[in-house]
């Protein structure tokens, strides 16, 4: 029942980006602090500083692990996480980039920002507040956002099990409740484990308190993931960041296209199509610094030289000619509304997708997702308020090369910017 599923198979060394999410006081910051401490990633002067901190909330000589991530004065004073905090640590098998997301509904947009680049979501649940299997609204909201953002690996950490005497029945009720939530929001699989972030049980080392749990501790579970391998199997998408020119007065002048391979593999000799224009060419060279490569894979930043002169500009996308993206100016998308000003279809918005920027308008607000009922409902007044999740019909001035977000995030994600205030209004996923 708790054995590692096929999505958690061992893999070679990789960088894993993860986010901790959940409701207020579920112990997200404490868990990250414990991971850092037990993996020997905290310097002695840091430990000394938090031991003397005036906002320490642990009695005696104990370490308040939350202070390792809650760095803002307001966070330490109030005992809450306000902004996303990033921390880095490494083990012999993996390098980790951890984002600690706020639990308050007011800061949901911060969670969206932190989760947008995450490979793994660790959803924390306070066992003392879900003892009867009733999940809190923010647990539902953050799980829904993790699904919308296409995070394929979800780990459910049932925290503070020491406060319910390591009762297996409590853990099973919570696990069953989350299984129902996962089914309703579309999370295909998840791994649940009981732990105590404060005491370190099942965080880095197995706990003697859970002989009934036959899965690995959290760190071993995370080390077994390999999200990077998934990007290599997707079709090629290479968003052009800028055009590189030099020796323009020479007959042997150089023109290349710099960017980062978002998905797939780019090889010398590949037939490619420039989107959205549809012009075709072949890859003459793939270069990095002063040397040529035979191929580049997802995550590599390179310069591409084509075998003939075609019109390629910043914002264009290079794709394999036999597996191009869709090109359109009108589409459906799910968005999380981030602006304090509600969506107004009469306002002008800018849409930024990768390196392309164009104007856009909202043709229709189709529905809003009710977090409590976990279903789509009709929208009153044709608008969305801050932190609402809804489905829109959007029309853009220029055609976009796009994919479904759950297939290729690089060409399936975008943001809406209010043209008059320049505030980021929404984060969107193409469907």
The last residue of one of the domains, among 180, 203, 224, is 224
pLDDT at position 35, please? 83
Residue 182 is part of which domain span?
Answer: 10-224
Classify residue 204: in a domain, yes or no.
Answer: yes
Kindly report the number of other CB atoms within 10 A of residue 268's CB atom: 17
- For residues 311 and 409, membership in a common domain is answered with no
Nearest to 204 by CA among 391, 385, 36: 36
Classify residue 229: in a domain, yes or no.
Answer: no
- For residues 26 and 163, membership in a common domain is answered with yes
pLDDT at position 251, please? 55
Cβ-contact 250, 262 below 8 angstroms: no
pLDDT band for 106, please (50, 70, 90 cuts). Answer: low
Classify residue 378: in a domain, yes or no.
Answer: yes
Say which range, 110-114, 173-177, 199-203, has the weakest mean pLDDT.
Answer: 110-114
CATH code of 42's domain: 3.40.50.300
- For residues 314 and 330, membership in a common domain is answered with no
pLDDT at position 13, please? 57
- Proportion of the chain above pLDDT 70, given as a percent: 83
- For residues 343 and 393, membership in a common domain is answered with yes
- For residues 340 and 286, membership in a common domain is answered with no
Classify residue 169: in a domain, yes or no.
Answer: yes
- For residues 147 and 219, membership in a common domain is answered with yes
- Measure CA of the first residue to CA of the last residue in the chain; give whole Å: 33
pLDDT at position 384, please? 92
- For residues 198 and 98, membership in a common domain is answered with yes
CATH code of 391's domain: 2.40.30.10
Classify residue 87: in a domain, yes or no.
Answer: yes
Question: What does pTM read for this prediction?
Answer: 0.76
- For residues 188 and 273, membership in a common domain is answered with no
Classify residue 231: in a domain, yes or no.
Answer: no
Q: What is the pLDDT of residues 42-75, one digit of tens each?
A: 655 565 655 555 454 555 555 666 665 644 333 3
* C-alpha to C-alpha distance for 18 and 86, rounded to whole angstroms: 10
Classify residue 311: in a domain, yes or no.
Answer: yes
- For residues 285 and 411, membership in a common domain is answered with no
- For the chain, percent helix, then strand, then coil, each to nearest 5? 20, 35, 45
* C-alpha to C-alpha distance for 16 and 25, rounded to whole angstroms: 25
Q: What is the pLDDT of residues 239-296, one digit of tens each?
A: 999 999 876 555 567 889 999 999 999 999 999 999 999 999 999 999 998 789 999 9
- For residues 75 and 185, membership in a common domain is answered with yes
The last residue of one of the domains, among 200, 224, 248, is 224
- For residues 168 and 103, membership in a common domain is answered with yes
pLDDT at position 3, please? 39
Indicate the number of domains in the chain.
3
- For residues 63 and 198, membership in a common domain is answered with yes
- Proportion of the chain above pLDDT 90, given as a percent: 49
């Amino acid at each position: 029942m708790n054995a590692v599923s096929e999505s958690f198979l061992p893999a070679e060394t990789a960088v894993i980006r993860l986010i901790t999410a959940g409701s207020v006081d579920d112990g997200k910051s404490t868990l990250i602090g414990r991971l850092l401490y037990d993996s020997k990633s905290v310097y002695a002067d840091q430990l000394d500083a938090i031991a003397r901190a005036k906002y320490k909330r642990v009695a005696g000589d104990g370490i308040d692990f939350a202070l390792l991530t809650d760095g803002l004065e307001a966070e330490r004073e109030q005992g809450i996480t306000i902004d996303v905090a990033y921390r880095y640590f490494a083990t012999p098998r993996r390098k980790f980039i951890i984002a600690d997301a706020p639990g308050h509904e007011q800061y949901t947009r911060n969670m969206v920002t932190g989760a947008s680049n995450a490979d793994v979501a660790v959803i924390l649940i306070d066992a003392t507040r879900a003892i009867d299997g009733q999940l809190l609204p923010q647990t539902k909201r953050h799980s829904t956002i993790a699904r919308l953002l296409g995070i394929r690996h979800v780990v459910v950490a049932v925290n503070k099990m020491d406060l319910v005497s390591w009762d297996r029945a409590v853990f099973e009720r919570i696990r069953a409740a989350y299984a129902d939530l996962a089914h309703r929001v579309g999370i295909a699989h998840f791994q649940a484990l009981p732990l105590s972030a404060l005491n370190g049980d099942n965080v880095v080392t197995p706990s003697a308190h859970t002989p009934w749990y036959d899965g690995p501790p959290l760190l071993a579970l995370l080390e077994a993931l390999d999200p990077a391998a998934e990007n290599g199997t997707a079709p090629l998408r290479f968003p052009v960041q800028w055009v590189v020119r030099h020796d323009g007065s020479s007959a042997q002048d150089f023109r290349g296209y710099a960017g980062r391979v978002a998905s797939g593999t780019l090889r010398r000799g590949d037939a490619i199509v420039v989107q959205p224009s549809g012009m075709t060419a072949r890859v003459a060279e793939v270069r990095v610094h002063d040397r040529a490569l035979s191929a580049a894979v997802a995550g590599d930043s390179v310069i591409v030289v084509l075998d003939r002169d075609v019109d390629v500009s910043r914002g264009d996308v290079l794709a394999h000619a036999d597996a191009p993206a869709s090109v359109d100016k009108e589409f459906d998308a799910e968005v999380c509304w981030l602006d304090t000003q509600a969506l107004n279809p009469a306002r002008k918005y800018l849409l930024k997708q990768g390196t392309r920027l164009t104007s856009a308008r909202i043709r229709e607000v189709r529905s809003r997702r009710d977090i409590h009922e976990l279903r789509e409902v009709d929208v009153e007044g044709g608008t969305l308020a801050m932190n609402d999740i809804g489905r829109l019909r959007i029309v853009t001035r220029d055609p976009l090369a796009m994919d479904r977000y759950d297939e290729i995030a690089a060409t399936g994600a975008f943001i809406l910017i209010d043209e008059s205030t320049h505030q980021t209004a929404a984060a969107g996923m193409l469907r």
